[in-house]
């Protein structure tokens, strides 16, 4: 189950290797993550929890949680960060592992010590740009990332970026921006790049501990200052069935699908209509995965309107003011039930709808990963945070934010380098949430030949259409005087289609009158593989997905640079300016099952995934012991598992409030290093078995 054809992404290369899973011979690609090799072979249960023997599936696919742990050659390892090698003996981890009786005494070594002026933790968009600024200001930088590549989550972003072309490569796909940034970083001699390296702690004595799993090595790194660019982790959600294999984060989904080209699912339901959820839906469709619905408990789409509109046009229903009642299945996700919510956000079970799905994606927001920042403040050395670690926003703003932070750190370390005022202004705008929505009227017919129709109604920080027009005929106009303003066309259009190709929202079409009276031609962007032939019929959709009848394909052309097709359709002239897209997904897949499942047992939802602690257990304990300090929940082993509370600590305050605790009385849990588990042999630098 691999994605053998993708409209945007190139096929993976890599030698085929054989391995076994629970004794069964399988084939994977050398160097891909073991989790992806297992998914590609249809395996979605990786371990059995000691509580209830419950099956565990992948959850974060990012090395943060430990849900994907399997036994590899007898040792428990996170499959999502372990590259596949020929001959691996991979097994389901059942409960706790047994330590192999390896009793040979080996020499231990002290960790090698490195030093630099600035340690940048995290090589995503903000970390790289910060490192570049520091290097250009003359500082020696060590840029550390736990993945085997640079770019952070940019490598998952197959879509074109918003923002401005001048500041953040707007109109370019995230995957391509990652390559550009990496090249820039590698050009600089005073940046030392360490990939496959996990910063596990920033300690009080001014040193960071770095674990290199591939070499089974542990290093200590001294520095004058630290920039924390560790990004964000996905928030989770508490609902019955949230522990079933097949419930995972939208980021995990993008990792499997976009980074590893593994078809993780056949049919997904997505919870959360922010940009992450909306984009995940789009990525699913591009990967040939059905999306039965997007839901959000809020009454409105919180992501960009252009993203939401795009999804709706393609045939994905969006259910607002809806919540997930439960996910059901025997050992894996088989069904998901949603229902509308009342004013107190409780489900109205009479409105329940149940869908047959194999995957539920959680896209309910991100929270900053900034533990090292707090550790740095506590230890008293210069520390700054940037990108999502500082504030959750788009990658476009992370790039300019990283540059500012890089220079701020240089100044903290004594440099007098200037930080241009306009950088701050740009950063501010790029992280703006969507502004107001304005109506538009589209003129018809065009004065002379082609004319763009801009289906962009909401203020968002984006302007590439204004930059590419060879006749400078698209300008931003509006109330803010920034790139939040809406683009307007006036002047000459030669029908080149550059604005159509570059628009990240797929919100621009070209229209002209046909020679035949009463008909018109419309040019649409199309980011799917297709085999349309002239004369084929397509179902036309207006901007928000209402049906406009049928149109006929006249011709198609493919723009290689933008990896986007331009479809020229013939439509009725009276709807020419209304056509914004075509239906992509068969409406039949979005139909609920005839019988809804009305079971609702919210106390059964899992809060702490590592230790399988339920809402019910926590509420009972909270009431019995009058708990207000989250540390007390450690008595239940909450947050004591492998991940160290990365998922549950975010969820706990709400559970406490449901149990009657006042918000202002709740005290946070103490954070302790390490960020990930490290084998003792690596801490003792015993040389590595693999070397």
Partner 1 sequence: MKNYDVVIVGAGSVGLPLAHRLAARGVRVGVVDELSSPGQGQNKAAIGGIRATHSDRAKIQIGIASLEFVRRLEEDYGEDVDWVQGGYLFPAYDQQIAENLKALLPIQKGYGLNIDWIGPEEVREIVPGIRAEGLLGGTFSPEDGHLSSLKLGGALYRLARRAGAEFHFETKVTGMEIVGGRVTAVLTDKGKFGCGTVVNAAGAFGREVGQMVGADLPVYPDSHEAGVTEPIQPLFNPMLVDIAPDEHSDNYYFYQAKEGAIVFCITPRPKRMGTDRRSTSEFLPMVIPRMLNLYPRLRNIRVRRVWRGLYPMTPDGVPIVGFDRDVEGFFHAVGMCGQGLMLGPGLAEIAAEAIVDGTEPEIFADLSPYRDFSGEELLK
Contact residues: partner 1, CB under 8 A = 75-76, 95-106, 108, 110-111, 201, 203-205, 207-209, 218, 220, 375, 378-379, 624-625, 627-629, 631-632, 634-635, 637, 642, 644, 667, 670, 672-674, 677-681, 683-684, 686
Pick between residue 208 and residue 250 the one whose CB is nearest to partner 1.
208
Please give the structure tokens belonging to residue 114.
Answer: 């490195």
Pick between residue 233 and residue 283 the one whose CB is nearest to partner 1.
233
In whole angstroms, the minimum distance from the beta carbon of 200 to partner 1 comes to 9
Please give the structure tokens belonging to residue 311.
Answer: 């999804």
Pick between residue 213 and residue 240 the one whose CB is nearest to partner 1.
213
Cis peptide before 441 (omega within 30 of 0): no
CA angle, corner 379, sides to 376 and 384, nearest 5? Answer: 25
Do the Cβ atoms of 512 and 495 come closer than 8 Å?
Answer: yes
Pick between residue 2 and residue 634 the one whose CB is nearest to partner 1.
634
Dihedral over alpha carbons 684, 685, 689, 691 (to 10 degrees): 180
In whole angstroms, the minimum distance from the beta carbon of 628 to partner 1 comes to 7
Pick between residue 87 and residue 100 the one whose CB is nearest to partner 1.
100
E-strand ranges in 116-229 read: 118-121, 141-144, 191-194, 198-202, 207-212, 217-222, 225-228
In whole angstroms, the minimum distance from the beta carbon of 90 to partner 1 comes to 16
Pick between residue 474 and residue 678 the one whose CB is nearest to partner 1.
678
Pick between residue 47 and residue 570 the one whose CB is nearest to partner 1.
47
Pick between residue 517 and residue 680 the one whose CB is nearest to partner 1.
680
In whole angstroms, the minimum distance from the beta carbon of 437 to partner 1 comes to 45
Neighbouring residues of 280: CB distance < 8 A, sequence distance ≥ 6:
250, 253, 254, 270, 361, 363
Do the Cβ atoms of 251 and 60 come closer than 8 Å?
Answer: yes
In whole angstroms, the minimum distance from the beta carbon of 87 to partner 1 comes to 19
The pairing of beta strand 359-362 with beta strand 207-212? unpaired
Neighbouring residues of 141: CB distance < 8 A, sequence distance ≥ 6:
116, 117, 118, 119, 120, 131, 134, 135, 190, 191, 192
To which residue do tokens 């006929």 refer?
552
Rounded to an integer, what distance in angstroms lies between the CA atom of residue 85 and that of residue 540?
48
In whole angstroms, the minimum distance from the beta carbon of 215 to partner 1 comes to 15
In whole angstroms, the minimum distance from the beta carbon of 66 to partner 1 comes to 9
Rounded to an integer, what distance in angstroms lies between the CA atom of residue 127 and that of residue 191?
12
Cα atoms found within 13 Å of the Cα of residue 95, Cβ hemisphere only: 5
Please give the structure tokens belonging to residue 608.
Answer: 């702490």
| CA proximity to 209, closest of 119, 83, 117 | 119
In whole angstroms, the minimum distance from the beta carbon of 97 to partner 1 comes to 6
In whole angstroms, the minimum distance from the beta carbon of 296 to partner 1 comes to 35
Do the Cβ atoms of 285 and 278 come closer than 8 Å?
Answer: no
Cα atoms found within 13 Å of the Cα of residue 246, Cβ hemisphere only: 25
Secondary element (H or E) of residue 69 = strand 69-72
Neighbouring residues of 489: CB distance < 8 A, sequence distance ≥ 6:
451, 452, 454, 473, 474
Mapped onto helix, strand or coil, the DSSP state of residue 203 is coil
Secondary element (H or E) of residue 279 = helix 275-286
Pick between residue 77 and residue 295 the one whose CB is nearest to partner 1.
77
E-strand ranges in 535-589 read: 537-541, 547-559, 564-572, 581-582
């Amino acid at each position: 189950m691999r994605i053998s054809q993708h409209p945007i992404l190139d096929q993976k290369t890599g030698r085929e290797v054989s391995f076994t899973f629970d004794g069964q011979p399988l084939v994977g690609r050398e160097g891909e993550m073991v989790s992806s090799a297992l998914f590609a072979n249809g395996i979605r249960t990786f371990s059995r929890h000691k509580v209830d023997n419950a099956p565990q599936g992948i959850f974060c696919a990012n090395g943060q949680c430990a849900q994907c742990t399997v036994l590899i050659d007898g040792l428990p390892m996170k499959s999502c960060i372990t590259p596949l090698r020929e001959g691996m003996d991979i097994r389901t981890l059942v409960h706790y592992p047994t330590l192999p009786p390896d009793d040979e005494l080996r020499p231990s070594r002290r960790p090698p010590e490195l030093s630099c002026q600035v340690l940048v933790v995290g090589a995503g968009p903000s970390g790289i740009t910060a490192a570049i600024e520091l290097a250009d200001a003359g500082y020696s930088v060590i840029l550390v990332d736990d993945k085997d590549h640079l770019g952070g989550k940019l490598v998952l972003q197959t879509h074109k970026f918003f923002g401005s072309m001048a500041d953040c490569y707007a109109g370019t796909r995230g995957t391509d921006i990652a390559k550009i940034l990496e090249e820039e970083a590698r050009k600089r001699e005073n940046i030392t790049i360490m990939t496959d390296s996990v910063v596990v702690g920033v300690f009080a004595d001014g040193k960071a501990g770095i674990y290199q799993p591939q070499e089974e090595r542990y290093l200590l790194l001294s520095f004058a200052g630290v920039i924390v660019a560790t990004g964000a982790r996905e928030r989770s959600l508490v609902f019955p069935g949230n522990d079933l294999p097949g419930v995972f984060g939208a980021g995990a989904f993008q990792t499997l699908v976009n980074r590893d080209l593994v078809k993780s699912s056949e049919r997904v339901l997505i919870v959360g209509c922010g940009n992450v959820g909306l984009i995940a839906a789009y990525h699913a469709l591009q990967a040939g995965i059905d999306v039965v619905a997007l839901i959000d408990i809020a009454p409105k789409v919180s992501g960009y309107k252009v993203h939401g509109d795009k999804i709706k046009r393609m045939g994905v229903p969006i259910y607002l003011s809806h919540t997930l009642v439960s996910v059901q299945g025997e050992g894996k996700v088989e069904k998901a039930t949603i229902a509308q919510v009342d004013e107190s956000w409780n489900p109205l079970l009479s409105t329940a709808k149940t869908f047959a799905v194999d995957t539920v994606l959680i896209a309910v927001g991100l929270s900053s990963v900034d533990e090292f920042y707090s550790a740095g403040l506590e230890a008293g050395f210069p520390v700054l945070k940037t990108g999502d670690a500082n504030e959750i926003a788009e990658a476009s703003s992370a790039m300019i934010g990283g540059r500012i932070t890089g220079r701020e750190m240089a100044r903290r370390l004594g440099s007098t380098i200037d930080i241009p005022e306009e950088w701050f202004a740009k950063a501010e705008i790029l992280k703006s949430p969507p502004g107001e929505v304005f109506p538009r009227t589209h003129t018809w017919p065009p004065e002379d030949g082609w004319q763009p129709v801009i289906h962009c109604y909401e203020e968002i920080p984006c302007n590439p259409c204004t930059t590419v027009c060879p006749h400078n005929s698209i300008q931003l106009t509006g109330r803010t005087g920034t790139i939040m303003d809406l683009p307007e066309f006036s002047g000459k259009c030669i029908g080149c289609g550059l604005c159509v190709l570059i628009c990240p929202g797929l919100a621009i079409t070209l229209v002209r009158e046909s020679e035949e009276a009463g008909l018109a031609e419309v040019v649409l962007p199309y980011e799917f593989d297709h085999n349309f032939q002239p004369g084929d019929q397509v179902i036309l959709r207006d901007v928000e997905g209402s049906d406009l009848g049928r149109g006929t394909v006249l011709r198609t052309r493919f723009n290689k640079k933008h990896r986007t097709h331009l479809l020229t359709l013939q439509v009725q002239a009276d709807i020419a300016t209304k056509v914004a897209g075509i239906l992509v997904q068969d409406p039949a897949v979005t139909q609920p099952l005839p019988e809804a499942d009305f079971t609702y047992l919210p106390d059964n939802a899992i809060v702490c995934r590592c230790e399988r602690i339920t809402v019910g257990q926590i509420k009972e304990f909270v009431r019995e012991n009058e708990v207000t300090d989250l540390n007390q929940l450690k008595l239940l082993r909450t947050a004591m598992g492998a991940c160290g509370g990365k998922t549950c600590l975010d969820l706990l305050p709400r559970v406490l409030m449901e149990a009657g605790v006042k918000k202002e009385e709740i005290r946070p849990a103490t954070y302790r290093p390490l960020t990930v588990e490290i084998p003792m042999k690596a801490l003792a630098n015993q040389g590595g078995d693999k070397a």
